[in-house]
Chain A
Amino acid sequence: MYGFEALTFNIHGGYLEAIVRGHRAGLLTTADYNNLCQCENLDDIKMHLSATKYGSYLQNEPSPLHTTTIVEKCTLKLVDDYKHMLCQATEPMSTFLEYIRYGHMIDNVVLIVTGTLHERDVQELLEKCHPLGMFDSIATLAVAQNMRELYRLVLVDTPLAPYFSECLTSEDLDDMNIEIMRNTLYKAYLEDFYKFCQKIGGATSEIMSDLLAFEADRRAVNITINSIGTELTREDRKKLYSNFGLLYPYGHEELAICEDIDQVRGVMEKYPPYQAIFSKMSYGESQMLDKAFYEEEVRRLCLAFEQQFHYAVFFAYMRLREQEIRNLMWISECVAQNQKSRIHDSVVYMF
Chain B
Amino acid sequence: MGESRGGGCCPPMDLMRSETMQLVQLIVPMESAHLTVSYLGDLGLVQFKDLNSEKSPFQRTYAAQIKRCGEMARKIRFFKDQMSKAEVLPKELLEKESDIDLDDVEVKLGELEAELVEINANNDKLQRSYNELMEYKLVLQKAGEFFSSAHRSATAQQREIESEDSQQAGDDLLESPLLQEEKSVDSSKQVKLGFLTGLVPREKSMVFERILFRATRGNIFIRQTVIEEPVIDPSSGEKAEKNVFIVFYSGERAKSKILKICEAFGANRYPFSEDLGKQAQMITEVSGRLSELKTTIDAGLGHRNVLLQTIGDKFELWNLKVRKEKAIYHTLNMLSLDVTKKCLVAEGWSPVFASNEIQDALQRAAVDSNSQVGSIFQVLRTKESPPTYFRTNKFTSAIQEIVDAYGVAKYQEANPGVFTIVTFPFLFAVMFGDWGHGICILLATMYLILREKKLASQKLGDIMEMAFGGRYVILMMSLFSIYTGLIYNEFFSIPYPLFAPSAYDCRDASCSEATTIGLIKVRDTYPFGLDPVWHGTRSELPFLNSLKMKMSILLGVSQMNLGIIMSYFNARFFKSSVNIWFQFIPQMIFLNSLFGYLSVLIIIKWCTGSQADLYHVMIYMFLSPTDELGENQLFPHQKTVQLVLLFLALVSVPCMLLPKPFILKKQHEARHQGQSYAPLDETDESLHVETTGGSHGHEEFEFSEIFVHQLIHTIEFVLGAVSNTASYLRLWALSLAHSELSSVFYEKVLLLAWGYNNVFILIIGILVFIFATVGVLLVMETLSAFLHALRLHWVEFQNKFYEGDGYKFAPFTFIFTANEDE
Which of A42-50, A79-87, A89-97, A237-245 forms contacts with chain B? A42-50
Q: Which residue of A lies closest to B210 (CB)?
A: A157
Q: Which of A55-63, A192-200, A221-229, A267-275 contacts B (4 or more CB under 8 A)?
A: A55-63
Nearest A residue to B71 by beta-carbon distance?
A63
Within 8 Å CB of B703, what residues of A? none
The binding surface of chain B is classed by DSSP as helix
A143 at the interface (CB under 8 A from B): yes
CA distance A38 to B60 in the complex (A): 12
Chain A residues positioned under 8 Å from B356 (CB to CB): none
Give the size of the chain A interface in residues (CB under 8 angstroms): 27
**Taking the nearest CB of chain B, how far is it from the CB of A122, in angstroms?**
7
The listed residue (A47, A143, A154) touching B67 by CB distance below 8 A is: A47
A188, CB-defined interface residue at 8 Å = no
B223 contacts partner chain A, Cβ-Cβ < 8 Å: no
A-B pair number, CB within 8 angstroms = 61
- Which of A38, A39, A136, A141 interacts with B204 by CB under 8 Å? A136
Interface string of B56-70 (1 = CB under 8 A from A): 111100010011001
Write the A24-64 contact mask toward B (1 if CB under 8 angstroms, else 0). 00000000000100111001100110110000000111110
Other-chain contact of A122, B63, B207, B257, B264 (Cβ < 8 Å) = B264
Interface size class of B (residues with CB under 8 A): 20 to 34
Complex Cα–Cα for A143 and B74 (A): 43
**How far is B215's CA from A152's CA once the two chains are assembled, in angstroms?**
9
A152→B214 contact, CB < 8 A: yes
Contact among B56, B74, B215 for A62, CB-based, below 8 A: B74
**Contact flags (1/0) for A124-159 with B, using CB distance below 8 Å?**
000000000000110111110000000011100100
CB pair A60 B56 closer than 8 Å:
no
Q: Which of B78, B210, B214, B257 contacts A60 (CB 8 A)?
A: B78
Q: Given the complex of chains A and B, what is the CA–CA distance between A189 and B311 in angstroms?
A: 56
Give, as a whole number of angstroms, the nearest-CB distance from B71 to chain A. Answer: 6
Asked if B59 and A38 make an inter-chain contact with CB atoms under 8 angstroms apart, the answer reads: yes
- Give chain B residues whose Cβ lies under 8 Å from the Cβ of A44: 58, 63
Supposing A43-B67, A140-B261 touch, asked if A51 and B57 sit within 8 A by C-beta, the answer is: yes
Per the bound structure, the CA–CA distance linking A222 and B261 in Å amounts to: 35
From B58, B207, B214, B257, A39 is in contact (CB under 8 Å) with B58
For residue A34, give the distance in angstroms from its CB to the closest CB of chain B: 8
Which residues of B are found within 8 Å of A143, using beta-carbon distances? 215, 257, 260-261, 264
Asked if B74 contacts A157 (CB within 8 A), the reply is no
Q: How far is the CA of A141 from the CA of B58 in the complex (A)?
A: 46
A38 contact set on B, CB distance < 8 A: 56, 58-59
A39-B58, A47-B57, A48-B57 as given contacts; A154 in contact with B211, CB under 8 Å: yes
Query: Are B58 and A137 neighbours in the complex by a CB distance under 8 Å?
Result: no
Q: Enumerate chain A residues within 8 angstroms of B207, measured Cβ to Cβ.
A: 136-137, 157
Chain A residue nearest to B258 (CB atoms) is: A143
Contacting residues, chain B, for A61 (C-beta < 8 A) = 74
B447 interfacial by beta-carbon distance below 8 Å? no
Contact sample, A vs B, 18 pairs, CB 8 Å cutoff: A40-B58, A47-B58, A47-B70, A48-B58, A59-B74, A59-B77, A63-B71, A136-B204, A137-B207, A137-B264, A140-B211, A140-B261, A140-B264, A141-B264, A142-B260, A143-B257, A143-B260, A143-B261
Chain A contact residues, CB within 8 Å of chain B: 35, 38-40, 43-44, 47-48, 50-51, 59-63, 122, 136-137, 139-143, 152-154, 157
Given contacts A59-B74, A63-B71, 19 further A-B contacts (CB under 8 A): A44-B63, A47-B57, A47-B63, A48-B57, A50-B70, A51-B57, A60-B78, A62-B71, A136-B204, A137-B207, A137-B211, A140-B211, A140-B261, A142-B264, A143-B215, A143-B260, A143-B261, A153-B214, A157-B210
